[in-house]
Amino acid sequence: MNKALCLAIAAILGLASCSAERVSNFPSYKLKIIQGNELNPRAVISLRQGMTRDQVQLLLGTPLLRDAFHADRWDYTFNTSRNGIIKEQSNLTLYFENDVLARAEGDAIQKSIEAVQAGQNVVPTTEKTNAK
C-alpha cells in the first residue's frame, strides 16, 4: 500500500474516534457550572405568609429573576451542570400581594425540608469559606 493512503486512513480513523461523546469522557473537559441562587434550606423553611419584600430579600438574597411584566413574582433558580448535563436543579417562585408574601411554590421547599430533616450541612458554600 501507498504510505499516503495508510496515513490518510489512520487520520480518518483517528478523527472519527474523537467524537464529542468520547471527548466528554475525559475529566479535563468536564467543567462544573453553577448558576443561580443557592438557597439555604433553613432560610427557605423560615418563609412565612405576610413577610415583606425586604424581609424576604434579607432572608434569601436577591432573586435571580424579577420580571417587569410580573412585578409581584420573584424567581429563585439554582442549577449545577457538568458537561451540559444538569446534575442538580431547584426552583422557588414567590408571589406577593400588596408587597407582602402571599405564597411560595417550587421544588426547593420540599428539598429544604428533606435536607433539614436529614441533618445535612445546610450552610451554602460561600458562607462556609467566610466563617473561618
Question: Residue 39's closest CA among 111, 102, 101, 104?
Answer: 111
Place of cell 446534575: 87
The yes-or-no verdict on residue 103 having pLDDT over 80 is yes
More confident residue, 87 or 43: 43
State the Cα–Cα distance between residues 80 and 125, nearest whole angstrom. 13
Mean pLDDT (whole number) for 60-70: 83
Q: 98 in the Ramachandran plot: left (φ > 0), alpha (ψ -120 to 50) or beta?
A: left
The yes-or-no verdict on residue 106 having pLDDT over 80 is yes
State the Cα–Cα distance between residues 100 and 54, nearest whole angstrom. 9
